Every structure is written in structure tokens, then in C-alpha cells.
Chain A
Amino acid sequence: MKLINFEFLKLRKKSRGWLGPILVFILIMTAFPLTVEILNKNLEQAFFSILWIATLLVMMLATEDIFLEDYNDGSLEQMAIKYDSLSGLVATKIFVYWVLIGIPISLIGALYGFGITRSSESALQILPILLITTYIFLNVFSFGNALSLTKGSILGTLITMPLVLPLLVVLGKVVIAINLGISFLGFLFLLLGILSIIILILPMIISFVIKAHLE
């Protein structure tokens, strides 16, 4: 609990770290209707794909310095010595990022969904999907940024983007289900399953990578 509070405080004090990604998300979602003719019906069709891609990009930007600053000032090494499980620390960090960035973005995304598709039903349906998806994205991109810790985020993006593409396919199917009015609970449980595997395994792999960096 102390660790969560500490990490929370650290991220909250750094407003570019958590407010920045949210504002970038709002900017992307606001800019996209400009590129399509306004009041066009195509806006609704394009909305979901823009939403997923914007979420993906923003999560990528948000995790850019999740470990870098701690690594540069040496506190990552100290924490790795102090706490028994580095993977617990990693999982905490990602959780705090999700609370401060993932949840607001999911809410804003659902709000945009309401604003553009004009149906409160589909906005409510994409909210849980967004909550799960942002958490998965944060985990996967933290892995990429841990691998390319000192080498910049382009490399991290290049190597982890292929890993989330299967997820994008599932998200595409969710959109089809929502548009046709079919029950999307199956996809929701599929995403939950992916999430539960990822939050168990990826923090361990990330801590292994960080230990290799600290050697």
C-alpha cells in the first residue's frame, strides 16, 4: 500500500506524465472529425477504428518514461535491492499508470462514443472494453520500453506494436458485434482472459529485463 501511494504521488506530481497523454488523446479524437467531412455518416463508421488506434498511440506515449527516469537517477536500482520482488514493483507502477491515465482515457473515450454515435448504449458497451484494453496496452508497452530502456521509444514501439495486433483484431470484432447489436460478452471475457494472463506473466518478464539492465 505504501508503495502504491509512493508511486501514485510520484506520477501525480509529474503532470506531463499523466495529464499529457490524456490531452493528446483528446487532441487526436478532436482532430479526426476535421479530416472527415463534418456531419458525414462515415464519421460513425470510422470512429471506433480511430478510437482504438488513438488509445494505442497514447498508451505508447504514456509508458515512454515509465522506467527511464527511475533508471537514470538510480532509484530503480535501489528499489530493486530494497524490495524482494521487482515484479511486484513493476505491477504497481503499471497499475498506478492505469489508474491515472487508463481510467480517464476510457471515460473520455466512452464520452466521445456517446457524442459521435449518439447512442448511450454503445458508449456504455465500449467503456469496459476500453478499461481492459488500456490495461493490456500499458502492460505490453511497458515491456517494450523496458527492453529499449536507454535506446529511445521508437525501438520500443517497433518491437511491441506487432505483439498487440492480435488484440486489435479482437477489438475489430467487438465493434462489429456492437454495431450489429449482438451480445459482446464473449469478447469481453476473452479480453479479460488475455488481461489476466498478461498481468500475471508480463511483470515477471519485465523485471527480468530490468535486472539484466541493472547488471
Chain B
Amino acid sequence: MIKKFIHQFASPKTYLFQVDRAYPYIFYASLFVYIGSLFWGLFLTSEDFVQGNSYRIIYLHVPASFISQSLYLAMAFASAIFLIWKVKLSAYLVKSIAPIGAVTTFIALVSGSIWGIPTWGTWWAWDARIISTLILFIMYLGLISLHDSFTDYEKADKFLAILVIVGSVNIPIIKMSVEWWSTLHQTASITVTEKPAIDASMLYPLFGSIIGFSGIVFCLVILSSKLQILLREKNKSWVKDYV
């Protein structure tokens, strides 16, 4: 049953039709959640004792940095599936996630800089977390340019998948950079294993914003993968019917 579902879902055609049906629900639900938690976080919670109102950029910065790393892991996962089982769809997914990952990493960097001006007194510091995030951004751009430089899509997909998997050695380093080095950037306030280090009134909107932002980014991935599928499968007859 599950196996059959996975096999069907792995075909670009079924994926496209299923995703088309689910897309509006996911998009409006996550938009609602994100705007709701932004409203909650920006207007209903109290000021931070130390940072004043400037901490409120957390509702953009934390989701963006969380997503930027998660997207890379998702790419690595999809690349492994592509290399092992030769599922074409996951190659399309890897290609379509890369630019979105670059954009979210850029959002994380810029929002971090803006947050740095009132709290650290500087918009940039040569700090382990900031450098490793910048490296992640450059890695995404490198992946995009690797794929663009080959006109043979099959080759490009294969190389991209290999590079994504080899490059995933950097992800734990980015994740742990705030704990392995003494840095200006604080350590993570929310972890799975420990009690969160921020107050509940700020925590719930933060969770909401992470979920909402993830949903919106997920919708972007869906759109981008739709484009990728239509581009690659443009010679198939069902694409002509679909368009």
C-alpha cells in the first residue's frame, strides 16, 4: 500500500497533479499561520528587557536560518534517493530547492545584519556562525552554477547530487558553530532536548512563525519543482495536455 503510493508519487506526472490539489490549502494555511504569529509576536508580546523592540526581528531571522539549513538537508536526502534508486523526480527537486535555499540563506544573513546593528553595535562580525552561514550561501550559488554549466541534464543532475552529498559535511559544522567556538552569536534558544531559554509568550509566536515560514517556503519549492518538471518533461504528451 505504502510502496504503491511511493511508486506512484515518484512519477513526475502524479506528483504534479497531487501537488496541484494540495497547493492552495498548504499555501493559505501557512500564510495564515505566519501572519497570525507575526501579529502576535509584533503587537501582543511585551518588550524584551535588554534588547527592547529590536528583538522582534527574531520572527524572520530564526525561521529563515532554520529553513536554510533544513533545505540543504532535504537536498542531501533527495540526492541520496536519486543516486541510489535513480528517481528522476528527486533530481528535479534538488535542482529546484537550490535557488530557494540561496534566497532563505540570504534573508537569514540580511536580517541578522539588521539585528546586529542595535544589539551588537555592528552589522557584521567575523564570527563562526556568520561565516559558516555565508559559506552556506556561497555553496548554494556554487551548486546552481555547477548545474547551469552542463547542457546535458543527466550529467548535471548526477554531479549536482554528488556535490550536495559531499558538501553536507559542512552542515553539522554550521549547526554546531555556536557551541564549538566562543562566538558573538548566541547559542540556540530552542533545542529539542532542553527546555527553551526564552519566555513562553515569545516562544509560541516563534514556533508559529517557524511553521508558517516553513510552509510558505515549502510552497515555493512546490512551484519551483513544477517549473522544473514542465521544463524537463516538455516533450511528453501529458505536459501538452496539462499546459
Contacts and interface: CB of A to CB of B under 8 A. Distances in A.
B21 to A, nearest CB: 36
Contact of B145 (A143, A158, A162): A158
Contacts of A213: 155
18 contacts: A147-B162, A147-B163, A151-B149, A155-B145, A155-B149, A158-B138, A158-B141, A159-B139, A159-B142, A159-B167, A162-B135, A162-B138, A163-B166, A165-B135, A166-B173, A169-B173, A205-B166, A209-B162
B119 to A, nearest CB: 25
Contacts of A208: 162
Contacts of B167: 159, 162-163
Interface in A158-173: 158-159, 162-163, 165-166, 169
B72 to A, nearest CB: 11
Given A148-B149, A165-B135, A209-B162, A159 B169 contact: no
Q: How large is the interface on B (under 10, 10 to 19, 20 to 34, 35 or more residues)?
A: 20 to 34
Nearest to A213: B155
Interface SS majority for chain A: helix
Interface SS majority for chain B: helix
B170 interface: yes
B33 interface: no
Interface residues of A, number: 18
Contact of A162 (B139, B150, B155, B158): B139
A205 B149 CA distance: 20
A155 B142 CA distance: 8
A38 interface: no
B193 to A, nearest CB: 24
Q: Which of A155, A162, A208, A215 has the most CB of B within 10 A?
A: A162
Nearest to A215: B155
A148 B135 contact: no
A181 to B, nearest CB: 21
